[in-house]
């Protein structure tokens, strides 16, 4: 399998990461879904009650072989201070930083700083909300190969393969 499955979670709603991990591992094993293709991702915009609790959640997920990500990086509460304590596998740049980056020197400066920091920390960057050729070209010229947005494809309703649908239903 070459695709990843992202599971979004809200840290303030996770009391025991092991309980979430157990059910995910059981479903993955039952359906032969590779756990190294699962990403647990949280939104940076949520006001995190306890950063240490979030770091513990991320560390638990990583111990079991899952990938980790911070979504909407640059939009919210934790950002840089969270990176001091934990470096996820991915950050997804908030689309407000992406929008018009090719023609906005302030955005370019901020994004280049984030890209440099992430390279130094071994964190992969995903550019979210890429809508124009200029935005795509800016990120490509800065070494970013992971991008998503309307420039590439509009979100579409697609029927999942039966095996995937069964797997998702068993985790509910």
Per residue in 144-172, pLDDT (tens digit) is 999 999 999 887 666 656 665 565 565 55
DSSP letters spanning 98-132: HTTGGG-HHHHHHHHHHHHHHHHHT-EEEE----S
- Domains assigned to the chain: 5-153 (3.20.20.450)
pLDDT digits (tens, 9 = 90+) for 94-120: 999 999 999 999 999 999 999 999 999
Taking the CA atoms of 115, 118, 124 and 130 in sequence, report the sign of the dihedral they define.
Answer: negative
Q: Tell me the whole-structure pTM to 2 decimals.
A: 0.80
The 10s digit of each residue's pLDDT in 57-70 is 888 889 888 899 98
d(CA 63, CA 77): 25
Burial 111-133 (b: 16+ CB within 10 A, else e): beebbeebeeeebbbbbbbbebe
Residue 170: C-alpha distances to residues 34, 81, 154 (Å): 16, 36, 28
> Distance between CA 38 and CA 40 in Å, rounded?
7
């Amino acid at each position: 399998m070459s695709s990843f499955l992202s599971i979004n979670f809200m840290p303030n709603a996770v009391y025991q990461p092991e309980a979430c991990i157990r059910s995910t591992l059981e479903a993955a094993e039952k359906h032969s879904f590779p756990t190294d293709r699962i990403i647990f991702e949280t939104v940076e915009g949520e006001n995190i009650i306890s950063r240490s609790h979030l770091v513990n959640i991320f560390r638990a997920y990583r111990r079991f072989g899952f990938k980790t990500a911070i979504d909407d990086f640059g939009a919210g509460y934790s950002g840089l201070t969270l990176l001091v304590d934990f470096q996820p596998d991915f950050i997804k740049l908030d689309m407000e930083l992406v929008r018009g980056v090719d023609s906005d020197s302030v955005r370019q400066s901020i994004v280049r700083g984030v890209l440099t920091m992430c390279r130094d920390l071994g964190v992969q960057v995903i550019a979210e909300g890429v809508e124009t050729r200029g935005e795509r070209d800016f990120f490509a010229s800065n070494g970013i190969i992971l991008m998503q947005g309307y420039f590439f494809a509009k979100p579409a309703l697609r029927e999942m393969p039966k095996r995937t649908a069964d797997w998702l239903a068993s985790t509910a």
